[in-house]
Amino acid sequence: ARTIRLAAAQMGATNRSDTRDHTMNRMLQLLDNAASQGAQVVLFPEIAFTTFFPRFLINDPEELESWFEHGDIRTAPNTKALFDKAHGLGVDFAVGFAEATDDGEHFNSCVYYHAKSGSLLSKYRKIHLPGDFEPFPDPNALNQLEKRYFKPGNLGFNAFRVPDLTESDAKHGDAIFGMMICNDRRWAESWRVLGLQGVEVVLCGFNTPSFAPELFGSSKDQDPDEAEKLIIFQHQLCMQSNSYTNACFSVSAARAGVDDGKYALIGGSCITDPEGRVIAEAKTIDDEVVVADCDLDLCNAGKSRTFDFIRHRRIEHYGRITQQ
């Protein structure tokens, strides 16, 4: 067995006016809590250090820039404490953040931090940016202006090896991880590109509104409770079905709760196994740690039989997937 203990650090409401210190303290507590439960890898949500600002139209360039992280995420004043703490605890983590590059580009990104070496093993920049460039004309509509604030990711979906997590011999000691962000999980292509690299654990932080008819193109007359149930169902459906068809575990971490008393986001953070089962899930929409032991050898059945891509794929029929 190659069993590792994984955690999702779900975060509850984070308001527009919350200070960065306040949010950071919550993240440090979540990390402590996960570490005390023996978690080896902790996943924080998408854009975890602030509220989900792409819901707002922000015209002042200085204000907009203040929502982004600049410089080395490990040592920048607004984010350093989390990396220091993880280094001290010896716990790896992945976290989502709004990235401003040195040459002025903006991405919706996440990194995987390897605590022992103090290095970033991987960075991912969100590829499927949902929503719009322009806000909806209806002032009451919920906006998702990711297309305005971010460029589509330019790094691809790269699986990467994480050492030191399992106690097996050197050959099988590494675990193969991959990352995606929120809307990416709804696209089979994101998962398959990672699956083709033998991914064993997919990490996905998210911010998903629980009722947003304009965003989802659904009826405004729906019952909000029913709409929320459907949105949670679709989130978990994506995590479960794609874990199954790529024979991998997955961890998803929500920014949940009701921001500013009015912007409701789903919880439903979960860990799924390679058979497509949910093996742990959040019970609240608050700050909560979800933990599961994952034996990576359980990926072998799917990878060697039903989803042995080398033997069974028929790529001659998949051309349309990469054509306009």
Asked if residue 205 binds ligand CDT (CB under 6 A), the reply is no
Instruction: Pick the piece of the chain touching ligand CDT (CB under 6 A) from 32-40, 68-76, 200-208, 267-275.
Output: 200-208
Cβ-based nearer residue to ligand CDT, 98 or 182? 182
CB 35 within 8 A of CB 19: no
Point out which span in 75-83, 207-215, 288-296, 313-321 binds ligand CDT (CB under 6 A): 207-215
Binding mask 139-178 for ligand CDT (x = CB under 6 A): -----x----------------------------------
The letter for the amino acid at 179 is M
Indicate whether 14 belongs to the interface with ligand CDT (CB under 6 A): no
Is 206 near ligand CDT (CB under 6 A)? Answer: yes
Q: DSSP assignment, residue 33?
A: H
Q: Give the pairing type, strands 263-265 and 270-272.
A: unpaired
What's the Cα-to-Cα distance from 3 to each of 92, 173, 280, 293, 312, rounded to whole Å?
15, 11, 15, 6, 28
* Residue choice 15, 28, 186, 222 for contact with ligand CDT (CB under 6 A): 186
Position among 40, 207, 243, 250 found at the interface with ligand CDT (CB under 6 A) = 207
169: DSSP letter: -
Torsion sign over Cα 236, 280, 144, 264? positive
Distance from the Cα of residue 144 to its chain's centroid: 17
Interface with ligand CDT, residue 183, by CB under 6 A? yes
The helix/strand/coil state of 77 is coil
Largest CA distance in the chain: 59
Distance CA 164, CA 152 (A): 32
Residue from 29, 65, 130, 158 touching ligand CDT (CB under 6 A): that is 130
In angstroms, what is the minimal distance from the CB of 12 to ligand CDT? 16
Q: Classify 140 in phi/psi space as left (phi over 0), alpha (psi -120 to 50) or beta.
A: alpha
Q: Which residues in this chain contact ligand CDT in the complex, by CB under 6 A?
A: 46, 130-131, 144, 182-183, 186, 206-208, 215-216
Q: Would you please indicate which residues are annotated as catalytic (active-site) residues? A: 46, 126, 182
